[in-house]
Amino acid sequence: MLARVILSGMLDLDFDLADPANFAAGIPHHLFAPIREADGLAWSKDSAYGRGFWSVTRHADLVEVSRDAAMFSSELGHIQIYDIDDDVRDARASMIDLDPPVHTRLRRLVSSAFTPKHVQDYAAVIDERVCRCVDAFVANGGGDWAQLVSNPIPIGVICDIMGVPDADHDFMIELTDHLVEGTSAAELDPSAYGNTRPLRELPFNSPAAFGLDDYARRARRTVIDAPRNDLISKLAVVEVDGEQLSVTDFARFFQLMIFAGNETTRSAMSHLAMLLAAFPAEFERIGLDRTLVDSAADEIVRIASPILYFRRTATRDTVLGGTPIAAGDKVVMWYCAANFDDTVFDDPLRFDVARTNARAEVGFGGGGIHFCLGAPLARMELAAVIREVLDRGLRVELAGDPVHVESNFVNGVEYLPLRVVACN
């Protein structure tokens, strides 16, 4: 049971909620439930992550923070719990770390490529990749779903869109894996990928960020000489308000898209397979009524909450959820807690593919200017896997214990051994 002190209008936590070990077996619902149910917000004191922070765990509070970028800044502090030094903030920032007006300008550059209508253009590519990966898994009688299915599909799709050749996809996965290590307790080799910069200047404090930056700069040079029909080529020459993207902004964009398009969606795909193993009857329901595919995809994102949190920093004194917040305070939005708020979702721990308000999930963010750019694409990828599973009558069971990524930031699955128990 949690030991904690309850003060007026807030909870003073006397354990380290952000300790990656708490997430070693997935979302620690037993830690979040009492915090969500108590009055006010919960306070975590100063720790290895720097200054203390407020935890937002209720759906309504999270939506409020997400939609008020003027009050809750992404740029002022950092979007992860740990602090970064003021002098390196600019060097690390991509669109997701910025406030308007710069955020608005950068988002406009890429938003048209990811609208629900536009992502339909990628449907055939997605279906083809999903079919090929599930083929390999089935032919094998099963195996590590993370390795065979979840890892290759999202990176393949985002790389197809960006214009990264197939031969480099494994390298992109490797770099993303190392970025995630920056959110765990793992030791990093600072000089990996030829890194010469101090880690504190790099996103995720990871030399893999240097590797991605270096790759992006080389890719840019290639397409400037010989443009192709892909996003890299467009971003290399695009003009906003009469200006081109600087080489640095281009490289940061590349890094953000590769990380955001890959890490999150592959983790949702592994959760999809774990849910298939645990609740085959729910997938039978979708088989009987294919109109449930869309709500099922959102329900999977809700249950998975692939990004556990993002942080904002208060720009002014305010009150949130009944708790006074001071200017400069860190405010952490735990998507993995708000997605299980029983004032919004009936019986929240239950996987229900026909949940009528599945779209209210906040796995892609709680709305507002930073709402996930790739949500339509990710939903399409998940829907493609669900349809492939149903078309094949695929049933699986666990063939061992899954291994979760030990991170307080992503709800990733490193290893997911499954056995095929039925297939048409």
Q: Which stretch binds ligand HEM (CB under 6 A): 126-134, 238-246, 271-279, 370-378?
A: 370-378
Strand partners, 313: 73, 330
Comparison of 10 and 386: residue with beta carbon closer to ligand HEM: 386
Applying CB under 6 A, among 219, 377, 383, 416 the residue interacting with ligand HEM is 377
**Half-sphere exposure of residue 48: CA atoms within 13 angstroms, side-chain side:** 9
Do residues 248 and 392 touch, judged by C-beta distance below 8 A? no
Smaller CB separation from ligand HEM, 35 or 373? 373
- Stretch touching ligand HEM by CB under 6 A, among 168-176, 209-217, 231-239, 373-381: 373-381
The dihedral built from the CA positions of residue 287, 292, 297 and 302, taken in this order, carries a sign that is negative
Quote the tokens at residue 136. Answer: 């390999």
Q: Report H helices in 185-319.
A: 207-225, 231-237, 247-278, 280-288, 293-304
Radius of gyration for the chain, computed over Cα atoms and rounded to the nearest angstrom: 21
365 counts as binding ligand HEM under rule CB under 6 A? yes
By the rule CB under 6 A, 371 interacts with ligand HEM: yes
Q: Does 156 contact ligand HEM by CB under 6 A?
A: no
Taking CB under 6 A as the binding criterion, the range among 28-36, 275-283, 369-377, 401-409 that sits at the site for ligand HEM is 369-377
Q: Which of 42, 180, 257, 396 binds ligand HEM (CB under 6 A)?
A: 257
Rule CB under 6 A: is residue 72 a binding residue for ligand HEM? no
Q: Which of 156, 374, 402, 412 binds ligand HEM (CB under 6 A)?
A: 374
In 3-state terms, the chain is what percent helix, strand and coil (to 5)?
50, 15, 35
Helices 293-304 and 375-392 pack at an angle, to 10 degrees, of: 110
For ligand HEM, give the closer residue by CB, 372 or 420. 372
Based on the shown chain and the rule CB under 6 A, indicate whether residue 307 belongs to the binding site for ligand HEM: yes
Decide whether 127 or 397 has the Cβ nearer to ligand HEM. 127
Q: Does 138 interact with ligand HEM (rule: CB under 6 A)? A: no
Nearest approach in angstroms of CB 72 to ligand HEM is 10
- What CA–CA distances, in Å, run from 309 to 62, 66, 137, 334, 420? 10, 11, 32, 4, 33
- Residue among 81 and 260 whose Cβ is closer to ligand HEM: 260
- The type of residue at 101 is P
Q: Which stretch binds ligand HEM (CB under 6 A): 11-19, 191-199, 338-346, 358-366?
A: 358-366
The rounded distance, in Å, linking the Cα atoms of 49 and 99 is 23
Nearer to ligand HEM, 48 or 240 (CB): 240
Q: How many residues bind ligand HEM (CB under 6 A)?
A: 29
Nearer to ligand HEM, 11 or 361 (CB): 361
Strand-strand pairing, 330-334 and 53-56: parallel
Question: How far is residue 211's CA from residue 172's CA, in Å, rounded to a whole number?
Answer: 9
Among residues 377 and 420, whose Cβ is nearest to ligand HEM? 377
Question: Which H or E run contains 398?
Answer: strand 395-398
Under rule CB under 6 A, residue 323 binds ligand HEM: no
**Contacting ligand HEM (CB under 6 A), which of 202, 209, 231, 268?**
268
The Cα 236–Cα 245 span in angstroms is 7
Residue number, 59 or 195, with CB nearest to ligand HEM: 59
Complex with ligand HEM: residue 5 or 125, whichever CB lies closer: 125
Separation between Cα atoms, residue 415 and residue 402, nearest integer Å: 5
Where do runs of H (alpha helix) occur along 38-122? Answer: 59-66, 89-92, 102-111, 116-119
Q: How far is the CB of 410 from ligand HEM (least distance, A)?
A: 9
The first and second tokens of residue 147, run together, are 């390795």
The helix/strand/coil state of 185 is coil
Footprint on this chain of ligand HEM (rule: CB under 6 A): 66, 95-96, 107, 114, 158, 256-257, 260-261, 264-265, 268, 301, 306-307, 310, 335, 363-365, 368, 370-374, 377-378
